[in-house]
Every structure is written in C-alpha cells, then in structure tokens.
C-alpha cells in the first residue's frame, strides 16, 4: 500500500497515511456524508445553478455582446457555487466574505500549491529539504496558500457553530459540514483538524477536477463538429420539441453523452499524475523500490498508450461503445 503526498495534520482522507483511522474516516464520510440519499437531496441546488449559468450565457448571446464568454471561468465558478452550497452551506451569491470568483481563484492556488514540485521531490533527504528551505520555493507557496484555505475553512465552521447555537434550521443536515459537526459532537471530541482535513479534500478535490473535465469536454466538442452534432441530435431526440432543458433523470437516456464524458476522462484526466509513497520495500517489474520512496502514476500516459488504445490521440467516444474497457493483459515478472 502507499500513502498520499499531502495531508491536513494526517487527519484527512485523501492524503493521510493508510491506517485504521484512515479507513474509519473514509467509511464514515462515504456512509454518513456522501451517500446517495444525501447527494440526491442537493439536486435542486445543482439544477438552480445550472439554470442560472445557462440563462447567463443565453442572455450574452442574445445581446451579441462583443465580450466573449470565458467558459473556463464560468465552469469553475459554477462548480464552486454548487459545491459550496451543497457541501459547505455557503451561498456565494450572497456571501459577504467570499464570492464565486474569489473561491475559484483560491481553488486554482490550492491546486498549483499541491502540484508544485520542489527540490525535495527530485532529491529526497536532507539535501532536497535544505534546498527547499534555502530558496523557500515549495514551502513558501504551500504556507501562504494553506493559510488562506485554513481561514476559509474556519469561517465555514464558525458560521455553522453560530447557526447551531442559535435558532435551529429547518433541515439540520442541510449540508455536509453540519453532518460532520454532528458526528464530532456525538463522538465527544472537538478535533477540528479532522473536519478541516475532510473540507480540504472536498473543496480542492471536488471543484477543480470537475471544472477541468467540463472545460476539456467543451473544448473537444468544439474541435470535433461531428461529435457535437451527434450529441445535439441525441439530446433533442430525448427532450422532444416541447422541453427546453435536460434533467438529471434524462441522463440515463443519453448514452452518447456518457461516451463523451468517458473519452474526455481518457484524453484529459483531471489528475494526470498521482503521487504515492511506498510504505515498505517492494519490487515492481524487477525494480527494487525502497520504503518511503515517492512514485508517480502517469494517468495521462496510460490514457494515450498506443498498445492499449487504437488511434489514442483522436477523440472518438464510440470506442467505449465497442469495448467497455480496452485493456491488455499485464505481464508480471
């Protein structure tokens, strides 16, 4: 097994070391906080924000504004608003401290900080750590960014604690933070680092990754008019002539749209490289890997491997209709 690279005092889920406590935290988060019923309860939030964005883009097109619509910024703000409302209980349209653009900027900074390479990544040990300290490259960037993130998480927690001390809301489990604080209260602990650690995973892992997939999907549709036309025809056939928007219930009927998403994930994984740290000495294909060694799984290269994929550089959603999983057997040495 391998541990992840970054953590929030080793009390989060994504980057904490593999242990019994990590397994328990993951189990509680999946069962109590991210279950299907909970996610479905936020359906109205997703639909409201999607309608808002569609109307905004439509109005811009009707006005024939000379200013182009920045879809990258639009998608980043859309996902940030949905996640902050459903998971953190923060409406960015009315929040006095954080708006959607500030949150989107914070997400980008956080992603750059976590993906930033320092000397210690290439020269593990005292030499690399000394070089990072001397030039303050990685350490300084992480320190500044995570200070801003911590301030945001603390604001979210304080806002919820004030709500709990005051009049009760109509729905006590309206968002994930409320559920987390309830679990902390039931366990009789006041460990906010664990709460912040999970917030870090949800905030950085939930916004940036989804927005990247949306951006690349639209990019590939623009670059491939054939795929765009086929997707449009399928959606119009599902909706008919009377309806103007597609709902989450309709997603089961648009098979080609699902293929587009899969092909986007293959060509443009939101996390192109996944870092892992070996917990013990092991051997992979004849190579001896010492304990505490950083390894990077090149997801981007796997999706473009010509030994696995036919015409790997081309955007062909139909490939997933022919073969659900295009894999080749791996030879173990």
Q: Which two tokens stand for residue 216?
A: 């690349």
Q: Are strands 2-3 and 282-284 parallel, antiparallel or unpaired?
A: unpaired
Q: How far is CA 57 from CA 50, 60, 65, 76, 250, in A?
A: 11, 5, 11, 14, 22
112 within a domain of the structure (yes/no): yes
The b-or-e profile of 65-76 (16+ CB within 10 A means b, else e) is: eeeeeebeebbb
269 within a domain of the structure (yes/no): no
At residue 124, the pLDDT reads: 66
Q: Which residues of the chain have pLDDT under 50?
A: 1-6, 167-173, 325-333
At residue 228, the pLDDT reads: 96
72 within a domain of the structure (yes/no): yes
332 within a domain of the structure (yes/no): no
271 within a domain of the structure (yes/no): no
206 within a domain of the structure (yes/no): yes
Range of the domain at 95: 2-223
CATH number of the domain that residue 112 is part of: 1.10.630.10
The DSSP-derived string for 258-323 is: HHHHHHHHHHS-SSSEEEEEESS-EEETTEEE-TT-EEEEEHHHHTT-TTTSSSTTS--TTHHHH-
At residue 6, the pLDDT reads: 46
333 within a domain of the structure (yes/no): no
H or E element in which residue 3 lies: strand 2-3
66 within a domain of the structure (yes/no): yes
CA 92/CA 263 separation, integer angstroms: 32
Total of domains in the chain? 1
pTM to 2 decimal places = 0.77
| 12 within 8 A of 201, measured Cβ to Cβ | yes
H or E element in which residue 202 lies: helix 192-223
């Amino acid at each position: 097994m391998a541990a992840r690279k970054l953590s929030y005092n080793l009390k989060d889920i994504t980057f904490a070391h593999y242990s019994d406590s990590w397994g328990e935290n993951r189990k509680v988060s999946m069962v109590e906080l991210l279950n299907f019923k909970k996610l479905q309860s936020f359906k109205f939030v997703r639909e409201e924000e999607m309608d808002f964005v569609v109307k905004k883009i439509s109005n811009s097109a009707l006005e024939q504004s000379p200013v182009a619509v920045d879809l990258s910024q639009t998608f980043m703000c859309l996902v940030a608003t949905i996640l902050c409302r459903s998971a953190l209980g923060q409406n960015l349209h009315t929040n006095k401290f954080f708006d959607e653009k500030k949150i989107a900027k914070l997400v980008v900074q956080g992603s750059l900080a976590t993906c930033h390479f320092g000397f210690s990544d290439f020269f593990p040990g005292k030499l690399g750590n000394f070089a990072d300290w001397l030039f303050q490259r990685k350490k300084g960037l992480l320190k500044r960014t995570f200070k801003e993130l911590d301030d945001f998480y603390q604001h979210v927690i304080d806002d919820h604690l004030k709500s709990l001390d005051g009049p009760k809301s109509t729905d006590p489990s309206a968002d994930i933070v409320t559920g987390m604080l309830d679990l902390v209260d039931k366990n009789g602990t006041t460990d906010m680092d664990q709460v912040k650690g999970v917030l870090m995973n949800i905030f950085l892992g939930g916004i940036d990754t989804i927005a990247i997939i949306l951006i690349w999907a639209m990019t590939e549709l623009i670059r491939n008019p054939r795929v765009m036309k086929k997707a449009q025809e399928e959606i119009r056939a599902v909706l008919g002539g009377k309806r103007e928007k597609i709902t989450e219930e309709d997603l089961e009927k648009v098979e080609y749209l699902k293929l587009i998403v899969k092909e986007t994930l293959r060509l443009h994984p939101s996390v192109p490289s996944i870092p892992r740290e070996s917990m013990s000495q092991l051997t992979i294909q004849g190579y001896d890997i010492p304990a505490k060694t950083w390894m990077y799984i090149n997801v981007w290269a796997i999706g473009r491997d010509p030994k696995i994929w036919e015409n790997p550089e081309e955007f062909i959603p139909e490939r997933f209709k022919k073969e659900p999983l295009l894999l080749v057997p791996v030879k173990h040495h």
